A and B are shown apart, each in its own frame.
Chain A
Amino acid sequence: MEALTRPLGKLGRATAGALSGMGYAAMLLVESLYLSMVGWRIGQPLRLRAVLEQMRQIGVDALPIVCLLAFTVGIMLGIQFVSALGEFGAQSQVVVAVAKSVTREFGALITAILVAGRSGSALAARIGSMTVSQEVDALAVIGIDPVRYLVAPALIAMLIMLPLLTVFADAVAIYGAALYSAPALDITPSAYMLQTMSLLDPGDLGQGIAKSAVFALLITLIGVSTGFSVVGGAEGVGRATTRAVVLSICWIIVADMIFSYFLNR
């Protein structure tokens, strides 16, 4: 009997833990949005300098690596579409295929995965080490709400910068694809770019931007909630950092699949 109940017990505890984690993340979201909007009324104003600093760390500092990766993905898509569509004599469709796949899917996905690895892990590590060394407790007893001080600036910065990075990644990836595909299509790269702009409609860009806003929420909430839940000193911080990255990437891919299903029916 115990052989049956033990795995069930484990499953139950894991489910309860996951639900409790989601509830905690939702509470952090509501509290940080509330404090961002009306915190000044209760003596807890949003720290604009911290928001700008986080925007620099999450967005500006990530530009080189986003650029490199988006450019590479763009060339890769160019290679695949020129080759695959060429087999069916449909090379003329390369421009539209690259444009739609980058703006709707790859731009947002690649950028989010990169930011989860860079900034999601950094958030978890920073808040985790602050939790372990009682800095979070110190903020609370000084009368500074840790959610307002640590979560709200990161959340707002992420919500602004991830969509902007996504648009940037879209442009760079399409340019990468243009550099490879234009000679194969017998047009110039600038003609390729102009053709892309005429083929894209705002809905394509909007789809990527909407996804990136949801990814921004996921990365921040998973990063901060794992950071606040750290137990067990430096080893615990290490575990939380890894957990934050793995969970963020998993949730980003699942959310992307759900989004793609509903937005492209």
Chain B
Amino acid sequence: MTAPAPLIEVEKLEAWYGKRRILNGVDFTVHPGEIRVIMGGSGSGKSTLLRHMLGLNRPVSGSVRLFGTDLATASDREKLEVRKRIGVSFQGGALLTSMTVGDNVALPLREHTSLDEQTIRIMSRLKLEVVNLGGFQDLMPSQLSGGMIKRAALARAVVMDPRLLFFDEPSAGLDPVVSAELDELILRLRDALRMTIVVVTHELDSAFKIADTITVLDQGNVLMTGTTADVRAADNERIQDLLNRRPREVHVDADEYLQRLVGETE
């Protein structure tokens, strides 16, 4: 029996912001049914990698394929077909502030299906129930707390029953209880809806709780990809620094630094 084709294939991906290299030949694959956590410290390139996976940035070199389609070279119609099969929960929720919570959740259905309004309303309320926001459909996003916004964004992300779900820093800015609730919700979604889930985070507790496999990024390089046990047992110094919350040692040559500053201001 052959293994199922990967849903995400990232090959030799490079990204630059101006003269700064952010991703340095990143390679990995994500298979159906997995919860993959992409973990790394601040500035490791996680968010840039996510933007490339979502087709929001074009790779300088290398490629990202979702469902076998390279979003950088796909036609508009092919891109649309891929996007109907993915859901994304952004760090700040990214709910449209001009719409009610219910309209936000219903938006993908209204845009991409020919369902009647009654069915759309029922489906969006069902998804709000799934994330424990039943009855909140008439509120505006500004009337919700941070945790509720993330859950509403999650309801919008899953309303089309996508096969692939992305989370950007799901626990960021949440208290530990709400953060744990969100982790449970992610696990429930995978089990109930059989989704493949990619979570970008720097929260260690959350990462080890939900992950099947973890890809560790550091300064634009993949340090390793493996199970949670593999990552814990890794003998890589940077991974252990990250796991044990040890700050990176920074050596500053004061004379050289001063000379550089003077050079820049002249």
**Which residues from chain A contact B83 at a C-beta distance below 8 Å?**
141-143
**Chain B residues near A143 (CB-CB < 8 A):** 79-80, 83-84, 108, 111-112
Residues of chain A contacted by B235 (CB below 8 angstroms): none
Q: Mark A129-153, 1 if CB is under 8 A from B, else 0.
A: 1100111011111111000000000
> CB distance B88 to A138 under 8 Å?
yes
Chain A interface size, as a band, is 10 to 19
Q: Do the beta carbons of A42 and B77 come within 8 Å of each other?
A: yes
Residue of B nearest to A140 (CB): B56
Minimal beta-carbon separation of A152 from chain B (angstroms)? 14
B118 at the interface (CB under 8 A from A): no
Query: Any chain A CB within 8 A of the CB of B189?
Result: no
Segment touching A, from B26-34, B89-97, B202-210, B246-254: B89-97
- For the complex, is A43 an interface residue (Cβ under 8 Å from B)? yes
Contact at B94–A43, with CB atoms within 8 Å?
Answer: no
Q: Within the assembled complex, what's the spacing in Å between the Cα atoms of A140 and B108? A: 11
A139 to B98, CA, bound (A): 13
Chain B 88-119, CB within 8 Å of chain A: the 1/0 string? 10111011110000000001100110000000
For chain A residues 180-223, which have a beta carbon within 8 Å of chain B? none
Cβ-closest chain A residue relative to B86: A141
Min C-beta distance of B143 to chain A, whole Å: 16
Contact with B along A43-57 (1 / 0, CB 8 A): 110000000000000
Query: Does B158 reach chain A (CB closer than 8 Å)?
Result: no
Does B255 sit at the interface, judged by CB under 8 A?
Answer: no
Q: Give min CB distance, A81 to chain B, whole Å.
A: 46
CA distance A84 to B54 in the complex (A): 66
Q: Number of B interface residues, CB 8 Å?
A: 24
Query: Which residues of A are found within 8 Å of B77, using beta-carbon distances?
Result: 42-43
Residues A134 and B91 in contact, CB atoms below 8 Å apart? yes
Per a CB cutoff under 8 Å, which of A43, A134, A137 touches B112? A43
B76 within 8 A of A: yes
Please give, as numbers and ranges, the residues of chain A lying within 8 Å of B92 by CB-CB distance: 133-134
| B54 proximity list for chain A (CB < 8 A) | 137, 140-141
A137 x B80 contact (CB < 8 A): no
Q: What 0/1 readout, one digit per residue, does chain B (114-157) give for beta carbons within 8 Å of chain A?
A: 00000000000000000000000000000000000000000010
Q: Do the beta carbons of A135 and B56 come within 8 Å of each other?
A: no
**Do residues A141 and B88 form an inter-chain contact, with CB atoms below 8 A?**
yes
**Distance A21 CA – B55 CA, assembled complex (angstroms):** 23
Q: Smallest CB-CB separation from A145: which chain B residue? A: B76
| Least CB distance, B163 to chain A, in whole angstroms | 14
Q: Contact at B97–A135, with CB atoms within 8 Å? A: yes
Most buried by A among B55, B77, B95, B96: B96
With the chains together, A52 CA to B9 CA distance in Å?
43
For B84, list chain A residues within 8 Å (CB).
Answer: 143
Closest to B111 in A: A144
B111 touches A42 (CB 8 A): no
Across-interface contacts of A43 in B (CB, < 8 A): 77, 80, 112
Please name all residues of chain B whose beta carbon is closer than 8 Å to the beta carbon of A44 when the two chains form the complex.
76, 80
B75 to chain A: closest residue by CB: A42
**Cross-chain pairs A/B with CB under 8 angstroms, 28 sampled:** A42-B77, A43-B77, A43-B112, A129-B97, A130-B96, A133-B97, A134-B92, A134-B94, A135-B94, A137-B51, A137-B54, A137-B90, A137-B94, A138-B94, A138-B96, A139-B96, A140-B54, A140-B55, A140-B56, A141-B83, A141-B88, A142-B83, A143-B80, A143-B83, A143-B108, A143-B112, A144-B107, A144-B111
Sample of 11 more A-B contacts, CB < 8 Å, known A133-B94, A135-B94: A44-B80, A138-B88, A140-B55, A141-B54, A141-B83, A141-B88, A142-B108, A142-B111, A143-B80, A143-B108, A144-B111
A residues bordering B, Cβ < 8 Å?
A: 42-44, 129-130, 133-135, 137-144
- Which 4 residue pairs of A and B lie closest in terms of their CB atoms, listed nearest first? A143-B83, A138-B94, A134-B94, A141-B88
